[in-house]
Amino acid sequence: MATTKKSFIYSLFLTLNFIAVSAFAQKESYIQSLNRQNHWVDSVFKKLNRRQKVAQLFFVRAHTNLGLAYEDSVANVIKNEQVGGLVFFQGGPVRQAQLINRYQKISKVPLIIAQDGEWGLGMRLDSTISYPYQMTLGAVQDNTLIYKMGQMVAYDFKRIGMQMNFGPDMDINNNPDNPVIGYRSFGDNKYNVAVKGIAYFTGMQSEGLLTTAKHFPGHGDTNVDSHFDLPLLPFSRERLDTLEEYPFREAIKAGISGIMIAHMDIPSLDSTKHLPSTLSRKIVTGILKDSLGFKGLVVSDAMEMRGVVKYFPNGDADVRAFLAGNDVLELSPNSDLAIRKIRRAIRNDQITEEEFDAKVKKVLAAKYWAGLNSYHETPINNLVADLNRPAEKELVQQLSDASITLLKGNAASLQLNPILKTAIVSIGVTQPTVFQQDLSHWYADCRIIMISKNESAADINNLLTMLKNYGQVYISIHDSRKRPASKLDYNADVKRLITQLASRKNTVISVFANAYSIAGLPGIEKAGALIMAYQNSDDLQRSAVKVITQRLKPSGKLSVSVNEYFKNGAGISL
Protein backbone atom coordinates (compact mmCIF):
# COMPACT_ATOMS: atom_id res chain seq x y z
CA MET A 1 0.00 0.00 0.00
CA ALA A 2 2.82 2.42 0.95
CA THR A 3 4.61 1.67 -2.33
CA THR A 4 1.43 2.37 -4.34
CA LYS A 5 0.95 5.67 -2.53
CA LYS A 6 4.57 6.71 -3.20
CA SER A 7 4.17 5.83 -6.89
CA PHE A 8 1.01 7.91 -7.09
CA ILE A 9 2.68 10.91 -5.45
CA TYR A 10 5.71 10.62 -7.75
CA SER A 11 3.44 10.37 -10.82
CA LEU A 12 1.49 13.39 -9.63
CA PHE A 13 4.72 15.34 -9.18
CA LEU A 14 5.84 14.49 -12.73
CA THR A 15 2.44 15.50 -14.10
CA LEU A 16 2.46 18.83 -12.29
CA ASN A 17 6.05 19.46 -13.35
CA PHE A 18 5.11 18.73 -16.98
CA ILE A 19 2.17 21.12 -16.76
CA ALA A 20 4.42 23.85 -15.31
CA VAL A 21 7.07 23.38 -18.02
CA SER A 22 4.40 23.22 -20.75
CA ALA A 23 2.86 26.44 -19.46
CA PHE A 24 6.17 28.23 -19.85
CA ALA A 25 6.67 26.71 -23.28
CA GLN A 26 3.58 28.63 -24.40
CA LYS A 27 5.14 31.92 -23.29
CA GLU A 28 7.29 33.92 -25.63
CA SER A 29 11.02 33.48 -25.12
CA TYR A 30 13.48 36.34 -25.53
CA ILE A 31 14.66 34.87 -28.86
CA GLN A 32 11.05 34.60 -30.08
CA SER A 33 10.35 38.17 -28.99
CA LEU A 34 12.97 39.45 -31.44
CA ASN A 35 10.79 38.35 -34.37
CA ARG A 36 8.06 40.91 -33.79
CA GLN A 37 7.87 44.65 -33.59
CA ASN A 38 8.04 46.07 -30.07
CA HIS A 39 6.50 49.50 -29.58
CA TRP A 40 8.30 50.13 -26.28
CA VAL A 41 11.66 49.31 -27.86
CA ASP A 42 10.92 51.52 -30.87
CA SER A 43 9.76 54.38 -28.64
CA VAL A 44 12.87 54.30 -26.43
CA PHE A 45 15.17 53.87 -29.44
CA LYS A 46 13.80 56.99 -31.15
CA LYS A 47 14.45 59.11 -28.05
CA LEU A 48 18.15 58.20 -27.91
CA ASN A 49 20.83 60.13 -29.74
CA ARG A 50 23.73 58.22 -31.28
CA ARG A 51 25.98 58.55 -28.25
CA GLN A 52 23.24 57.25 -25.98
CA LYS A 53 22.59 54.35 -28.35
CA VAL A 54 26.25 53.34 -28.23
CA ALA A 55 26.21 53.63 -24.44
CA GLN A 56 23.35 51.09 -24.25
CA LEU A 57 25.85 48.44 -25.35
CA PHE A 58 28.13 48.99 -22.31
CA PHE A 59 27.76 47.17 -18.98
CA VAL A 60 30.09 48.61 -16.33
CA ARG A 61 31.48 47.19 -13.07
CA ALA A 62 29.79 47.76 -9.69
CA HIS A 63 30.62 46.68 -6.12
CA THR A 64 29.07 47.16 -2.70
CA ASN A 65 32.22 46.38 -0.72
CA LEU A 66 34.53 49.17 -1.93
CA GLY A 67 33.10 52.14 -0.06
CA LEU A 68 30.99 55.20 -0.76
CA ALA A 69 33.51 56.93 -3.02
CA TYR A 70 33.50 53.96 -5.39
CA GLU A 71 29.71 53.76 -5.33
CA ASP A 72 29.52 57.48 -6.17
CA SER A 73 31.96 57.03 -9.06
CA VAL A 74 29.66 54.39 -10.59
CA ALA A 75 26.72 56.75 -10.13
CA ASN A 76 28.63 59.43 -12.03
CA VAL A 77 29.29 57.05 -14.92
CA ILE A 78 25.57 56.24 -15.09
CA LYS A 79 24.59 59.93 -15.03
CA ASN A 80 27.19 61.09 -17.52
CA GLU A 81 27.27 58.17 -19.94
CA GLN A 82 23.81 56.57 -19.53
CA VAL A 83 25.22 53.07 -20.00
CA GLY A 84 23.01 50.08 -20.69
CA GLY A 85 23.77 47.98 -17.66
CA LEU A 86 25.82 47.10 -14.61
CA VAL A 87 27.69 43.98 -13.57
CA PHE A 88 27.83 43.55 -9.79
CA PHE A 89 30.66 41.79 -8.01
CA GLN A 90 31.47 41.20 -4.33
CA GLY A 91 29.29 42.61 -1.58
CA GLY A 92 26.14 41.97 0.40
CA PRO A 93 22.52 41.53 -0.72
CA VAL A 94 20.91 44.43 1.16
CA ARG A 95 23.63 46.89 0.16
CA GLN A 96 23.39 45.71 -3.43
CA ALA A 97 19.60 46.04 -3.58
CA GLN A 98 19.83 49.55 -2.14
CA LEU A 99 22.46 50.50 -4.70
CA ILE A 100 20.43 49.04 -7.55
CA ASN A 101 17.49 51.19 -6.47
CA ARG A 102 19.73 54.24 -6.34
CA TYR A 103 21.31 53.57 -9.73
CA GLN A 104 18.02 52.82 -11.50
CA LYS A 105 16.63 56.18 -10.35
CA ILE A 106 19.39 58.12 -12.10
CA SER A 107 19.26 56.16 -15.38
CA LYS A 108 16.99 57.50 -18.12
CA VAL A 109 16.57 54.01 -19.56
CA PRO A 110 16.28 51.20 -16.97
CA LEU A 111 19.57 49.34 -16.49
CA ILE A 112 20.04 45.63 -17.00
CA ILE A 113 21.65 44.43 -13.78
CA ALA A 114 23.82 41.36 -14.27
CA GLN A 115 26.04 39.16 -12.14
CA ASP A 116 28.08 35.97 -12.37
CA GLY A 117 25.86 33.42 -10.67
CA GLU A 118 27.14 30.07 -11.86
CA TRP A 119 26.25 28.60 -8.47
CA GLY A 120 23.74 31.27 -7.50
CA LEU A 121 24.06 34.59 -5.67
CA GLY A 122 26.58 33.02 -3.29
CA MET A 123 29.19 33.17 -6.06
CA ARG A 124 29.48 36.90 -5.35
CA LEU A 125 27.38 37.88 -2.32
CA ASP A 126 27.61 37.08 1.36
CA SER A 127 24.51 35.98 3.31
CA THR A 128 23.05 34.21 0.25
CA ILE A 129 22.69 30.64 -1.02
CA SER A 130 25.54 28.88 -2.80
CA TYR A 131 24.44 25.89 -4.85
CA PRO A 132 26.97 23.15 -5.65
CA TYR A 133 29.66 23.94 -8.22
CA GLN A 134 28.90 22.88 -11.77
CA MET A 135 31.45 20.04 -11.68
CA THR A 136 29.58 18.68 -8.67
CA LEU A 137 26.30 19.00 -10.55
CA GLY A 138 27.89 17.12 -13.43
CA ALA A 139 27.65 13.98 -11.28
CA VAL A 140 23.88 14.36 -10.72
CA GLN A 141 21.75 11.94 -12.74
CA ASP A 142 18.38 13.66 -12.22
CA ASN A 143 18.50 16.81 -14.34
CA THR A 144 15.09 17.97 -13.12
CA LEU A 145 16.89 18.96 -9.91
CA ILE A 146 19.17 21.25 -11.94
CA TYR A 147 16.17 22.74 -13.75
CA LYS A 148 14.61 23.44 -10.34
CA MET A 149 17.87 25.03 -9.22
CA GLY A 150 17.65 27.33 -12.23
CA GLN A 151 14.17 28.41 -11.16
CA MET A 152 15.38 29.10 -7.62
CA VAL A 153 18.39 31.10 -8.83
CA ALA A 154 16.12 33.15 -11.08
CA TYR A 155 13.89 33.97 -8.12
CA ASP A 156 16.90 35.19 -6.13
CA PHE A 157 18.22 37.33 -8.98
CA LYS A 158 14.86 38.97 -9.56
CA ARG A 159 14.19 39.41 -5.85
CA ILE A 160 17.37 41.44 -5.45
CA GLY A 161 16.61 43.49 -8.57
CA MET A 162 18.72 41.77 -11.25
CA GLN A 163 17.67 40.65 -14.72
CA MET A 164 20.63 38.70 -16.14
CA ASN A 165 22.88 35.85 -15.04
CA PHE A 166 26.27 35.42 -16.70
CA GLY A 167 25.83 31.66 -16.51
CA PRO A 168 25.84 28.75 -17.00
CA ASP A 169 29.42 27.87 -17.85
CA MET A 170 29.13 25.50 -20.83
CA ASP A 171 32.84 24.88 -21.34
CA ILE A 172 33.97 21.26 -21.59
CA ASN A 173 36.76 20.94 -19.03
CA ASN A 174 38.93 18.40 -20.84
CA ASN A 175 42.19 19.81 -19.45
CA PRO A 176 42.74 18.92 -15.76
CA ASP A 177 45.31 21.72 -15.47
CA ASN A 178 42.91 24.42 -16.67
CA PRO A 179 43.55 27.34 -14.29
CA VAL A 180 40.32 29.25 -14.84
CA ILE A 181 37.47 26.80 -15.61
CA GLY A 182 37.89 23.49 -13.75
CA TYR A 183 35.19 23.12 -11.11
CA ARG A 184 33.08 25.74 -12.94
CA SER A 185 32.39 23.22 -15.74
CA PHE A 186 29.85 20.39 -15.69
CA GLY A 187 32.69 18.07 -16.72
CA ASP A 188 34.58 16.68 -19.69
CA ASN A 189 31.75 14.91 -21.52
CA LYS A 190 30.21 17.17 -24.15
CA TYR A 191 26.78 15.55 -23.97
CA ASN A 192 26.58 15.84 -20.20
CA VAL A 193 27.77 19.46 -20.31
CA ALA A 194 25.12 20.30 -22.89
CA VAL A 195 22.17 18.62 -21.20
CA LYS A 196 22.98 20.00 -17.76
CA GLY A 197 23.65 23.50 -19.06
CA ILE A 198 20.31 23.41 -20.87
CA ALA A 199 18.49 22.19 -17.76
CA TYR A 200 20.00 25.02 -15.75
CA PHE A 201 19.33 27.90 -18.15
CA THR A 202 15.84 26.74 -19.16
CA GLY A 203 14.97 26.73 -15.46
CA MET A 204 16.23 30.30 -15.13
CA GLN A 205 14.57 31.51 -18.32
CA SER A 206 11.26 29.90 -17.31
CA GLU A 207 11.17 32.43 -14.48
CA GLY A 208 12.02 35.40 -16.70
CA LEU A 209 15.78 35.68 -16.17
CA LEU A 210 18.15 36.42 -19.05
CA THR A 211 20.98 33.88 -19.22
CA THR A 212 24.42 33.67 -20.83
CA ALA A 213 26.24 30.50 -21.83
CA LYS A 214 30.00 30.94 -21.67
CA HIS A 215 32.77 30.99 -22.94
CA PHE A 216 32.27 30.48 -26.70
CA PRO A 217 33.75 28.67 -28.56
CA GLY A 218 35.04 26.82 -25.48
CA HIS A 219 37.57 27.66 -22.76
CA GLY A 220 37.88 24.16 -21.28
CA ASP A 221 41.15 23.00 -22.86
CA THR A 222 43.51 25.85 -22.02
CA ASN A 223 46.38 26.15 -19.58
CA VAL A 224 46.34 29.96 -19.45
CA ASP A 225 43.91 32.16 -17.52
CA SER A 226 42.64 34.86 -19.89
CA HIS A 227 42.39 37.25 -16.94
CA PHE A 228 46.19 37.43 -17.10
CA ASP A 229 47.22 36.58 -20.66
CA LEU A 230 45.87 35.48 -24.05
CA PRO A 231 45.38 31.69 -24.20
CA LEU A 232 46.19 29.86 -27.43
CA LEU A 233 43.73 27.27 -28.68
CA PRO A 234 45.78 25.27 -31.21
CA PHE A 235 43.09 22.82 -32.31
CA SER A 236 41.71 22.17 -35.79
CA ARG A 237 38.42 23.56 -37.01
CA GLU A 238 37.04 20.03 -37.14
CA ARG A 239 37.95 19.39 -33.49
CA LEU A 240 36.38 22.68 -32.38
CA ASP A 241 33.22 22.03 -34.41
CA THR A 242 32.69 18.56 -33.00
CA LEU A 243 33.81 19.07 -29.41
CA GLU A 244 34.17 22.58 -27.95
CA GLU A 245 31.26 24.13 -29.83
CA TYR A 246 28.85 21.24 -29.26
CA PRO A 247 27.26 22.47 -25.99
CA PHE A 248 26.81 25.95 -27.47
CA ARG A 249 25.10 24.59 -30.58
CA GLU A 250 22.72 22.64 -28.38
CA ALA A 251 22.13 25.70 -26.18
CA ILE A 252 21.23 27.73 -29.27
CA LYS A 253 18.73 25.06 -30.35
CA ALA A 254 17.23 25.13 -26.84
CA GLY A 255 16.72 28.90 -26.94
CA ILE A 256 19.54 30.37 -24.83
CA SER A 257 19.09 34.12 -24.58
CA GLY A 258 22.79 35.08 -24.48
CA ILE A 259 26.26 33.73 -25.27
CA MET A 260 29.53 35.12 -23.92
CA ILE A 261 32.64 35.15 -26.12
CA ALA A 262 36.00 34.03 -24.70
CA HIS A 263 39.29 35.89 -25.10
CA MET A 264 41.36 33.26 -26.92
CA ASP A 265 43.77 33.15 -29.86
CA ILE A 266 42.36 30.50 -32.23
CA PRO A 267 44.43 30.34 -35.44
CA SER A 268 42.25 27.67 -37.08
CA LEU A 269 39.26 30.03 -36.91
CA ASP A 270 41.07 33.33 -37.47
CA SER A 271 44.78 33.42 -38.38
CA THR A 272 45.25 37.09 -37.43
CA LYS A 273 48.18 37.10 -35.01
CA HIS A 274 47.38 37.73 -31.32
CA LEU A 275 43.71 38.42 -32.12
CA PRO A 276 41.40 37.41 -29.25
CA SER A 277 38.26 35.59 -30.41
CA THR A 278 36.21 38.41 -28.86
CA LEU A 279 37.61 40.77 -31.48
CA SER A 280 37.30 38.42 -34.46
CA ARG A 281 34.44 39.05 -36.86
CA LYS A 282 35.14 35.67 -38.43
CA ILE A 283 34.36 34.01 -35.10
CA VAL A 284 31.67 36.24 -33.57
CA THR A 285 29.68 37.03 -36.68
CA GLY A 286 30.88 34.42 -39.18
CA ILE A 287 30.63 31.37 -36.92
CA LEU A 288 28.35 32.20 -33.98
CA LYS A 289 25.81 34.41 -35.73
CA ASP A 290 25.90 33.21 -39.34
CA SER A 291 26.93 29.54 -39.24
CA LEU A 292 25.30 28.60 -35.93
CA GLY A 293 22.39 30.99 -36.41
CA PHE A 294 22.48 32.57 -32.96
CA LYS A 295 20.02 35.48 -32.77
CA GLY A 296 20.32 36.39 -29.08
CA LEU A 297 22.62 38.70 -27.14
CA VAL A 298 26.31 38.25 -27.88
CA VAL A 299 28.22 39.35 -24.77
CA SER A 300 31.95 39.93 -24.61
CA ASP A 301 33.94 38.54 -21.72
CA ALA A 302 35.31 41.31 -19.49
CA MET A 303 37.04 43.85 -21.71
CA GLU A 304 39.40 44.79 -18.89
CA MET A 305 41.05 41.35 -18.88
CA ARG A 306 44.72 41.10 -19.81
CA GLY A 307 43.90 38.51 -22.47
CA VAL A 308 42.21 41.21 -24.57
CA VAL A 309 43.90 44.52 -23.65
CA LYS A 310 47.45 43.15 -23.86
CA TYR A 311 47.56 43.65 -27.62
CA PHE A 312 44.70 46.15 -28.00
CA PRO A 313 44.92 48.88 -25.32
CA ASN A 314 43.35 52.34 -25.02
CA GLY A 315 39.84 51.47 -26.18
CA ASP A 316 40.92 49.72 -29.39
CA ALA A 317 39.72 46.38 -28.01
CA ASP A 318 36.22 47.79 -27.40
CA VAL A 319 35.96 49.12 -30.95
CA ARG A 320 37.13 45.83 -32.44
CA ALA A 321 34.73 43.83 -30.24
CA PHE A 322 31.89 46.09 -31.36
CA LEU A 323 32.80 45.67 -35.04
CA ALA A 324 33.29 41.91 -34.59
CA GLY A 325 29.62 41.50 -33.70
CA ASN A 326 29.34 41.69 -29.92
CA ASP A 327 26.11 43.29 -28.71
CA VAL A 328 27.17 43.89 -25.11
CA LEU A 329 30.63 45.11 -24.12
CA GLU A 330 31.21 44.06 -20.55
CA LEU A 331 33.53 45.90 -18.14
CA SER A 332 35.36 48.25 -20.47
CA PRO A 333 38.39 49.72 -18.68
CA ASN A 334 37.35 53.17 -19.99
CA SER A 335 33.78 53.25 -21.27
CA ASP A 336 33.81 56.98 -22.02
CA LEU A 337 36.83 56.64 -24.31
CA ALA A 338 35.44 53.48 -25.91
CA ILE A 339 32.09 55.12 -26.64
CA ARG A 340 33.86 58.02 -28.38
CA LYS A 341 35.95 55.65 -30.48
CA ILE A 342 32.94 53.56 -31.48
CA ARG A 343 31.03 56.70 -32.53
CA ARG A 344 33.98 57.56 -34.75
CA ALA A 345 33.92 54.06 -36.28
CA ILE A 346 30.21 54.47 -37.07
CA ARG A 347 30.81 57.89 -38.68
CA ASN A 348 33.57 56.32 -40.78
CA ASP A 349 31.10 53.70 -42.05
CA GLN A 350 33.00 50.78 -40.48
CA ILE A 351 29.60 49.28 -39.66
CA THR A 352 26.23 49.70 -41.33
CA GLU A 353 23.50 51.70 -39.61
CA GLU A 354 21.28 48.64 -39.88
CA GLU A 355 23.69 46.41 -37.94
CA PHE A 356 24.33 49.08 -35.32
CA ASP A 357 20.61 49.74 -34.80
CA ALA A 358 19.95 46.00 -34.48
CA LYS A 359 22.47 45.76 -31.61
CA VAL A 360 20.82 48.56 -29.69
CA LYS A 361 17.34 47.19 -30.25
CA LYS A 362 18.43 43.74 -29.07
CA VAL A 363 19.60 45.24 -25.76
CA LEU A 364 16.36 47.22 -25.41
CA ALA A 365 14.33 44.12 -26.29
CA ALA A 366 16.14 42.24 -23.52
CA LYS A 367 15.14 44.97 -21.10
CA TYR A 368 11.54 44.69 -22.20
CA TRP A 369 11.50 40.88 -21.97
CA ALA A 370 12.95 41.08 -18.44
CA GLY A 371 10.17 43.46 -17.38
CA LEU A 372 12.16 46.70 -17.22
CA ASN A 373 9.54 48.49 -19.32
CA SER A 374 7.53 48.61 -16.09
CA TYR A 375 10.38 48.86 -13.59
CA HIS A 376 9.60 48.73 -9.86
CA GLU A 377 11.98 49.48 -7.01
CA THR A 378 13.32 46.44 -5.15
CA PRO A 379 11.75 46.11 -1.68
CA ILE A 380 14.36 45.74 1.06
CA ASN A 381 12.10 44.32 3.79
CA ASN A 382 12.76 40.61 4.51
CA LEU A 383 15.30 40.49 1.68
CA VAL A 384 17.87 38.26 3.39
CA ALA A 385 15.16 35.85 4.57
CA ASP A 386 13.68 35.70 1.08
CA LEU A 387 17.12 34.86 -0.33
CA ASN A 388 17.59 32.04 2.20
CA ARG A 389 14.30 30.19 1.89
CA PRO A 390 14.04 26.72 3.48
CA ALA A 391 13.09 25.27 0.09
CA GLU A 392 16.40 26.47 -1.35
CA LYS A 393 18.45 24.99 1.47
CA GLU A 394 16.57 21.73 1.03
CA LEU A 395 17.36 21.74 -2.70
CA VAL A 396 21.06 22.32 -2.00
CA GLN A 397 21.04 19.21 0.19
CA GLN A 398 19.10 17.24 -2.44
CA LEU A 399 21.65 18.18 -5.10
CA SER A 400 24.48 17.26 -2.75
CA ASP A 401 22.90 13.89 -2.00
CA ALA A 402 22.37 13.26 -5.72
CA SER A 403 25.99 14.06 -6.61
CA ILE A 404 27.79 11.83 -4.09
CA THR A 405 29.77 9.26 -6.06
CA LEU A 406 31.01 5.93 -4.70
CA LEU A 407 34.17 5.14 -6.65
CA LYS A 408 35.12 2.02 -4.71
CA GLY A 409 33.51 -0.15 -2.06
CA ASN A 410 30.24 -1.74 -1.07
CA ALA A 411 27.86 -1.67 1.87
CA ALA A 412 30.12 -3.86 3.98
CA SER A 413 33.30 -1.88 3.37
CA LEU A 414 31.55 1.47 3.97
CA GLN A 415 29.74 0.92 7.25
CA LEU A 416 32.36 -0.80 9.34
CA ASN A 417 31.90 -2.35 12.76
CA PRO A 418 30.18 0.15 15.11
CA ILE A 419 31.76 -1.56 18.12
CA LEU A 420 35.39 -1.37 17.01
CA LYS A 421 37.70 1.39 18.16
CA THR A 422 37.33 4.01 15.41
CA ALA A 423 39.40 7.00 14.28
CA ILE A 424 37.74 9.76 12.28
CA VAL A 425 40.53 11.76 10.67
CA SER A 426 39.92 15.00 8.77
CA ILE A 427 42.87 16.21 6.69
CA GLY A 428 43.50 19.78 5.55
CA VAL A 429 41.62 21.31 8.49
CA THR A 430 42.34 22.79 11.89
CA GLN A 431 38.87 22.46 13.45
CA PRO A 432 36.48 19.49 13.74
CA THR A 433 34.44 19.07 10.56
CA VAL A 434 30.73 18.45 9.99
CA PHE A 435 31.77 15.06 8.60
CA GLN A 436 33.45 14.17 11.90
CA GLN A 437 30.67 15.51 14.08
CA ASP A 438 27.93 13.68 12.17
CA LEU A 439 29.83 10.41 11.82
CA SER A 440 30.92 10.32 15.46
CA HIS A 441 27.28 9.80 16.52
CA TRP A 442 27.38 6.35 14.89
CA TYR A 443 30.51 5.03 16.60
CA ALA A 444 30.56 4.82 20.38
CA ASP A 445 34.31 4.33 20.72
CA CYS A 446 35.74 6.91 18.35
CA ARG A 447 38.38 9.59 18.31
CA ILE A 448 38.31 12.77 16.20
CA ILE A 449 41.68 13.81 14.76
CA MET A 450 42.52 16.90 12.67
CA ILE A 451 45.55 17.09 10.38
CA SER A 452 46.58 20.41 8.85
CA LYS A 453 47.74 20.51 5.25
CA ASN A 454 51.28 21.36 6.42
CA GLU A 455 51.56 18.88 9.29
CA SER A 456 55.15 18.00 10.22
CA ALA A 457 56.70 14.65 9.36
CA ALA A 458 57.29 13.90 13.05
CA ASP A 459 53.64 14.45 13.98
CA ILE A 460 52.51 12.35 11.04
CA ASN A 461 54.77 9.45 12.05
CA ASN A 462 53.39 9.64 15.60
CA LEU A 463 49.85 9.58 14.18
CA LEU A 464 50.57 6.54 12.02
CA THR A 465 51.90 4.70 15.05
CA MET A 466 48.87 5.64 17.14
CA LEU A 467 46.38 4.60 14.44
CA LYS A 468 47.72 1.05 14.55
CA ASN A 469 45.61 0.71 17.70
CA TYR A 470 42.39 1.46 15.83
CA GLY A 471 40.33 -1.23 14.13
CA GLN A 472 38.95 1.11 11.48
CA VAL A 473 39.70 4.58 10.15
CA TYR A 474 37.47 7.06 8.36
CA ILE A 475 39.40 9.73 6.50
CA SER A 476 38.03 12.93 5.01
CA ILE A 477 40.17 15.03 2.66
CA HIS A 478 39.29 18.73 2.51
CA ASP A 479 40.25 21.59 0.23
CA SER A 480 39.19 24.80 1.97
CA ARG A 481 40.56 27.16 -0.69
CA LYS A 482 38.09 29.57 -2.24
CA ARG A 483 39.04 28.23 -5.69
CA PRO A 484 39.57 24.47 -5.36
CA ALA A 485 42.30 23.69 -7.90
CA SER A 486 42.97 20.34 -9.55
CA LYS A 487 45.89 19.67 -7.20
CA LEU A 488 45.76 19.80 -3.41
CA ASP A 489 48.15 22.21 -1.72
CA TYR A 490 49.13 19.65 0.94
CA ASN A 491 52.79 19.13 1.76
CA ALA A 492 54.50 15.88 0.71
CA ASP A 493 54.30 14.36 4.19
CA VAL A 494 50.53 14.79 4.38
CA LYS A 495 50.14 13.19 0.95
CA ARG A 496 52.34 10.34 2.15
CA LEU A 497 50.03 9.92 5.14
CA ILE A 498 47.03 9.48 2.82
CA THR A 499 48.89 6.89 0.75
CA GLN A 500 49.88 4.87 3.80
CA LEU A 501 46.45 4.99 5.41
CA ALA A 502 44.76 3.96 2.15
CA SER A 503 46.86 0.79 2.04
CA ARG A 504 45.60 -0.37 5.43
CA LYS A 505 42.57 -2.60 5.91
CA ASN A 506 39.26 -1.09 7.04
CA THR A 507 39.94 2.39 5.67
CA VAL A 508 37.19 4.56 4.14
CA ILE A 509 38.19 7.80 2.38
CA SER A 510 35.84 10.67 1.47
CA VAL A 511 37.22 13.43 -0.75
CA PHE A 512 35.74 16.92 -0.33
CA ALA A 513 37.86 18.51 -3.05
CA ASN A 514 38.16 18.94 -6.80
CA ALA A 515 37.67 15.55 -8.47
CA TYR A 516 41.02 15.82 -10.24
CA SER A 517 42.79 16.01 -6.87
CA ILE A 518 42.76 12.23 -6.37
CA ALA A 519 45.13 11.86 -9.35
CA GLY A 520 47.78 13.53 -7.17
CA LEU A 521 47.27 11.07 -4.31
CA PRO A 522 48.92 7.82 -5.47
CA GLY A 523 47.62 4.73 -3.77
CA ILE A 524 44.27 6.23 -2.78
CA GLU A 525 42.60 3.67 -5.02
CA LYS A 526 43.69 0.96 -2.54
CA ALA A 527 41.31 2.21 0.17
CA GLY A 528 38.57 -0.17 1.24
CA ALA A 529 36.03 2.40 0.10
CA LEU A 530 36.40 5.72 -1.71
CA ILE A 531 33.73 8.43 -1.89
CA MET A 532 34.04 11.44 -4.21
CA ALA A 533 32.20 14.49 -2.88
CA TYR A 534 33.69 17.09 -5.28
CA GLN A 535 33.84 20.12 -2.96
CA ASN A 536 34.22 21.13 0.66
CA SER A 537 30.69 21.96 1.79
CA ASP A 538 28.72 21.09 4.92
CA ASP A 539 25.92 19.64 2.78
CA LEU A 540 28.21 17.24 0.96
CA GLN A 541 29.81 16.18 4.24
CA ARG A 542 26.36 15.29 5.50
CA SER A 543 25.68 13.41 2.25
CA ALA A 544 28.86 11.34 2.64
CA VAL A 545 27.92 10.36 6.18
CA LYS A 546 24.48 9.30 4.91
CA VAL A 547 26.14 7.00 2.38
CA ILE A 548 28.49 5.52 4.98
CA THR A 549 25.61 4.87 7.39
CA GLN A 550 23.46 3.49 4.55
CA ARG A 551 20.75 6.12 4.80
CA LEU A 552 21.50 7.22 1.21
CA LYS A 553 22.19 5.12 -1.86
CA PRO A 554 24.91 6.84 -3.88
CA SER A 555 23.73 7.65 -7.41
CA GLY A 556 26.36 10.11 -8.67
CA LYS A 557 28.62 9.38 -11.63
CA LEU A 558 32.11 10.85 -11.97
CA SER A 559 31.85 13.99 -14.12
CA VAL A 560 35.47 13.91 -15.35
CA SER A 561 38.11 11.30 -16.12
CA VAL A 562 40.74 11.47 -13.38
CA ASN A 563 43.23 8.68 -14.12
CA GLU A 564 43.40 5.07 -15.27
CA TYR A 565 41.44 3.92 -12.23
CA PHE A 566 38.59 6.41 -12.33
CA LYS A 567 37.08 7.42 -15.66
CA ASN A 568 34.17 9.68 -16.55
CA GLY A 569 30.92 7.95 -15.62
CA ALA A 570 32.42 5.83 -12.85
CA GLY A 571 30.17 5.32 -9.87
CA ILE A 572 28.91 2.33 -7.89
CA SER A 573 25.22 2.07 -7.01
CA LEU A 574 24.47 0.07 -3.88
**Would you give per-residue pLDDT tens digits along the chain (574 residues)?**
444 444 444 344 343 444 344 444 447 899 999 999 999 999 999 999 999 999 999 999 999 999 999 999 999 999 999 999 999 999 999 999 999 999 999 999 999 999 999 999 999 999 999 999 999 999 999 999 999 999 999 999 999 999 999 999 999 999 999 988 999 999 999 999 999 999 999 999 999 999 999 999 999 999 888 888 898 999 999 999 999 999 999 999 999 999 999 999 999 999 999 999 999 999 999 999 999 999 999 999 999 998 899 999 999 999 999 999 999 999 999 999 999 999 999 999 999 999 999 999 999 999 999 999 999 999 999 999 999 999 999 999 999 999 999 999 999 999 878 889 999 999 999 999 999 999 999 998 999 999 999 999 999 999 999 999 999 999 999 999 988 999 999 999 999 999 999 999 899 999 999 999 999 999 999 999 999 999 999 999 999 999 999 999 999 999 999 999 999 999 999 8
Q: What is the CATH number of domain 50-391?
A: 3.20.20.300
In one letter, which amino acid is 235? Answer: F
**In the chain, which segments carry CATH 3.20.20.300?**
50-391
What secondary structure letter does DSSP report for 530? E
**In the chain, which segments carry CATH 3.40.50.1700?**
404-548
Element spanning 459, H or E:
helix 457-467
Question: Angle at the Cα of 265 (from 264 to 266), degrees rounded to 5?
Answer: 105
Distance (Å, whole) CA 558 – CA 563: 12
Cut 0.85: pTM above it: yes
Question: Angle at the Cα of 331 (from 330 to 335), degrees rounded to 5?
Answer: 100
Distance (Å, whole) CA 448 – CA 418: 15
Distance (Å, whole) CA 203 – CA 144: 9
Q: CA gyration radius for the chain? A: 25
Homologous superfamily of domain range 404-548: Glycoside hydrolase family 3 C-terminal domain (3.40.50.1700)
pLDDT given for residue 393 in this prediction: 98
Burial class (CB in 10 A: 0-12, 13-18, 19+), 14: exposed
- At what angle are helices 316-324 and 335-347 packed, to 10 degrees? 50
480: number of Cβ within 10 Å? 14
Tell how strand 405-408 and strand 529-532 pair up.
antiparallel
DSSP string, 5-26: HHHHHHHHHHHHHHHHHHHHHT
Strand partners, 165: 115, 211
Burial class (CB in 10 A: 0-12, 13-18, 19+), 342: buried
